[in-house]
């Protein structure tokens, strides 16, 4: 019996040894795995599906031009199904099981917050492509979307200027969760600093998926009688459609009460008849309507990709800001890996600082040396009847992100991070 046991033990250890040796000699040597963590079902599928597609397109593009350090990229796509805890599970699976070198993903702040502990614990690397509320800085995350000072603050400054209508009263309308609440906290402090008093600021929240905006639109109308009013909308997801429809039907025109939105882009306007919305505003770091060679190439590449893959409505696909941010993020990661000659997390993080990339926004974007955010230009656009945007204001050059808003008390010491 004893001899038998010994034989089994020997066999088993030999097998284990063989298994352990296989990966180092196998095909992993000439490929690099990258994870894509976007909801392909559930409420967020509307927005996030396009990010998955643009990520796959960028990876194809990189592979076609020789890959990264001569190695082909292999995308691993998972579907966290708009389910926040599932985001953490899938992130863990990508890092430990699939052994990806980097993950591109997340949209809502809730999903980002739920994967953070995983990336910290396993020392992974996440590229987050969406504008967000700030108040966060993680070593393992690169933020390629806008911080509040690269989107919300310039938009409000524009509304207060003569050009933007000289608004004196502000109606802050949002979906009830962390991003709108934090953004509005920052905006309220900012407005106070500009001499706007609390009686000229109204803050209203609706639940996720709210679809009846009659009362709110009537209230906006009433609020607007007290002086030149602007609405600042942080409504997220498909609630925007009924909101804008109600605005149009109630006869509130952009020339009377302009609405500036931070989560409405080309993709969201595809679901709306944009004619009644002409003149309402959005603030982003990229618009599809920007005219420059990099953007033309980007749009052309994505259209060709959509046609090749037979995406639904392939002839009408649009590009938007988070898609651009995804595209820029993947390219910058590639450059950093090539600079570091390694996909090791610590080395890539070090190599990321100061990376530059000619972005479709027409500017050369730089990754900040210390704060993991991009320096981005800000554009303010008015909605056109065809669902695109006319740029009516822009910054002269990319501006540095302030993830810790100076308008939030307690952040004074964090400005140089």
Using the rule CB under 8 A, give the single segment among 69-77, 203-211, 342-350, 398-406 that binds another protein. 203-211
- 43 is a site residue for another protein (CB under 8 A): yes
Nearer to another protein, 227 or 354 (CB): 227
* Residue spans of beta strands (DSSP E) within 106-245: 126-128, 141-143, 169-175, 201-206, 229-234
Taking CB under 8 A as the criterion, the residue among 13, 16, 26, 41 binding another protein is 41
* Residue spans of beta strands (DSSP E) within 107-200: 126-128, 141-143, 169-175
- 165 is a site residue for another protein (CB under 8 A): yes
Taking CB under 8 A as the criterion, the residue among 20, 222, 396, 409 binding another protein is 222
In whole angstroms, the minimum distance from the beta carbon of 347 to another protein comes to 37
For residue 237, give every residue at least 6 positions away whose Cβ sits within 8 Å of its Cβ, in sequence order, or none.
43, 44, 46, 47, 175, 208, 209, 263
Nearer to another protein, 312 or 413 (CB): 312
- 42 is a site residue for another protein (CB under 8 A): yes
- 144 is a site residue for another protein (CB under 8 A): no
> Rg of the chain over CA atoms, in angstroms?
23
- Binding to another protein (CB under 8 A): which residues in 170-189? 176
Distance, CA of 131 to CA of 121 (rounded, Å):
25
In whole angstroms, the minimum distance from the beta carbon of 271 to another protein comes to 3
Residue 205: what are its φ and ψ, rounded to 5°?
-125, 150
Question: Which 3 state secondary structure label does DSSP give 190?
Answer: helix
- 198 is a site residue for another protein (CB under 8 A): no
In whole angstroms, the minimum distance from the beta carbon of 290 to another protein comes to 13
For residue 339, give every residue at least 6 positions away whose Cβ sits within 8 Å of its Cβ, in sequence order, or none.
351, 355
Sign for the CA dihedral angle at 130, 382, 215, 248 comes to negative
Place of tokens 């006869």: 251
- Binding to another protein (CB under 8 A): which residues in 270-309? 270-273, 276, 278-279, 281
How do 364-367 and 374-375 pair as beta strands?
antiparallel
In whole angstroms, the minimum distance from the beta carbon of 315 to another protein comes to 12
- Binding to another protein (CB under 8 A): which residues in 85-104? none
In whole angstroms, the minimum distance from the beta carbon of 278 to another protein comes to 6
Nearer to another protein, 232 or 348 (CB): 232
Sign for the CA dihedral angle at 223, 224, 230, 231 comes to positive
3-state SS of the chain: helix, strand, coil percent to 5? 45, 20, 35
Residue 74 pairs with which residues in a beta bridge?
Answer: 33
Nearer to another protein, 246 or 324 (CB): 246
- 362 is a site residue for another protein (CB under 8 A): no
Taking CB under 8 A as the criterion, the residue among 28, 93, 219, 411 binding another protein is 219
Distance, CA of 282 to CA of 63 (rounded, Å):
35
In whole angstroms, the minimum distance from the beta carbon of 214 to another protein comes to 4
DSSP string, 87-146: HHHHHHIIIIIS--SEEEE--SHHHHHHHHHHHHHHT--EEE-S--------TTEEE-S-
In whole angstroms, the minimum distance from the beta carbon of 201 to another protein comes to 15
In whole angstroms, the minimum distance from the beta carbon of 247 to another protein comes to 10
List residues binding another protein (CB under 8 A): 40-43, 45-46, 49, 162-165, 176, 204-207, 209-212, 214-216, 218-219, 221-222, 225-227, 238, 241-242, 245-246, 248-251, 254-256, 258, 267, 270-273, 276, 278-279, 281, 311-313, 382, 384-385, 390, 392
């Amino acid at each position: 019996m004893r001899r038998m046991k010994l034989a089994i033990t020997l066999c088993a250890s030999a097998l284990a040894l063989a298994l352990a040796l296989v990966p180092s000699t196998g095909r992993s040597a000439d490929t690099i795995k990258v994870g894509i963590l976007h909801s392909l079902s559930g409420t967020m599928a509307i927005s996030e599906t396009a990010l998955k597609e643009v990520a796959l397109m960028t990876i194809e593009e990189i592979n076609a031009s020789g890959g990264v350090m001569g190695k082909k990229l292999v995308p691993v796509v998972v579907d966290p199904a708009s389910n926040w805890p599932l985001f953490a599970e899938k992130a863990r699976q990508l890092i430990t099981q699939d052994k990806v070198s980097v993950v591109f993903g997340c949209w809502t702040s809730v999903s980002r917050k739920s994967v953070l502990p995983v990336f910290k614990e396993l020392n992974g690397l996440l590229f987050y492509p969406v504008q967000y509320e700030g108040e966060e800085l993680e070593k393992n995350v690169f933020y390629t979307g806008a911080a509040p000072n690269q989107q919300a603050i310039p938009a409000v400054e524009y509304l207060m200027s003569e050009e933007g209508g000289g608004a004196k009263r502000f109606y802050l309308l949002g979906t009830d969760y962390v991003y709108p609440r934090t953004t509005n906290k920052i905006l309220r402090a900012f407005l106070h600093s500009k001499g706007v008093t609390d009686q000229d600021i109204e803050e209203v929240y609706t639940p996720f998926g709210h679809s009846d905006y009659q009362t709110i639109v009537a209230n906006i109308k009433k609020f607007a009688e007290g002086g030149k009013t602007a609405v600042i909308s942080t409504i997220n997801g498909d609630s925007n459609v009924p909101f804008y429809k109600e605005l149009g039907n109630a006869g509130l025109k952009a020339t009377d009460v302009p609405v500036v939105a931070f989560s409405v882009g080309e993709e969201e306007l595809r679901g709306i008849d944009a004619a009644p919305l002409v003149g309402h505003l959005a603030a982003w770091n990229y618009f599809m309507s920007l005219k420059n060679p990099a953007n033309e190439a980007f749009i052309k590449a994505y259209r060709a990709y959509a046609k090749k893959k037979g995406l639904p409505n392939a002839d009408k696909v649009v590009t938007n800001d988070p898609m651009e941010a995804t595209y820029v993020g993947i390219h910058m990661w590639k450059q950093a890996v090539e600079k570091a000659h390694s996909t090791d997390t610590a080395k890539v993080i070090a190599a990321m600082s100061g990376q530059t990339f000619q972005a479709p926004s027409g500017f050369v974007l730089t990754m900040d040396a210390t704060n993991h955010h991009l320096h981005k230009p800000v554009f303010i656009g008015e909605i056109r009847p065809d669902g695109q945007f006319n740029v009516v204001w822009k910054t002269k050059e990319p501006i540095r992100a302030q993830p810790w808003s100076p308008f939030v008390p307690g952040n004074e010491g964090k400005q140089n991070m």
